[in-house]
Amino acid sequence: MSEGIRTVRGKRAFIIDMDGVIYHGNRLLRGAAELVAWLRREEKRFLFLTNSSERSPEELSQKLGRLGVEVGAEHFYTSALATAAFITSQRPGGSAYAIGEPGLINALYQAGYTMNDANPDYVVVGEARSYNLDSVEKAVRLVLGGARLIGTNPDLTGPDEGGLVPACGALVAPIELATGRKAYFVGKPNPLMMRHALKRLGSTREETVIVGDRMDTDIVAGIESEIETVLVLSGVTARADLGRFPYAPRQVLEGVFEIPE
């Protein structure tokens, strides 16, 4: 056993990305079920931390259940929840025009926000199957009218069963270009997201490890938060990509199947 793997296994708490780490679309990746079983057996604290804003924790729990891995909703935290918490801290009881799926809309409602397509405080963009020119035009008008532009995460692409698909960062870009306003992204690598995760885990950065498939979000988030980093090559980042980045993960694994003993 390498010293690096021994260090990872010795950590008390695990922050784990989902897309490209645990599954691709509706296909469970090798070692995902064994990882969860090992985390429980070793009494580790763990949180699945995803930049995707499409699904609620309950829906993510149900999805993993359908794939054969039973994990309670309390083990999930999404960029939609982090985004709702952020804008509520900035403007409690405000309103938003949201382009996104039910996971984002429900998070905003639960935080006390109302939907407003006339004069909202924020335009909030997440992953959206219903994304179209009409919604972009409305978002542009609202931002030019004074609404603040928020993105749930900066990811340009995400892994799917068929390959890479556009993600939130790519959907926000046309609005940024048309308005000349830059969005504020709440998801990884924003330190806000990592602080939320540590609080939910009840752990310190020294006793925590983050496992992810993206150098530009998961790994840089860990580095900037001084959390041990593990890159898995089962998602977006390939081994050949590592030299393009001015920073490096502490460990590089083929997949999560290498973590359990």
- The string over 22-57, giving b where at least 16 C-beta atoms fall within 10 Å of a residue's C-beta and e elsewhere, is bbbeeebbebbbebbebbeeeebbbbbbbbbbbbbb
- Adjacent-strand bridge partners of 47: 15
| For the chain, counts of helices (H) and of strands (E) | 9, 15
The rounded distance, in Å, linking the Cα atoms of 59 and 9 is 29
The one catalytic residue among 17, 155, 213, 216: 17
The one catalytic residue among 19, 121, 155, 213: 19
Nearest to 216 by CA among 198, 195, 235, 200: 235
Rounded to 10 degrees, the C-alpha dihedral 185/237/194/97 comes to 30
- Asked about 19 being catalytic, the answer comes back as yes
Q: Give the phi and the psi of residue 232 in degrees, each rounded to 5.
A: -105, 140
- Asked about 213 being catalytic, the answer comes back as no
Catalytic residues: 17, 19
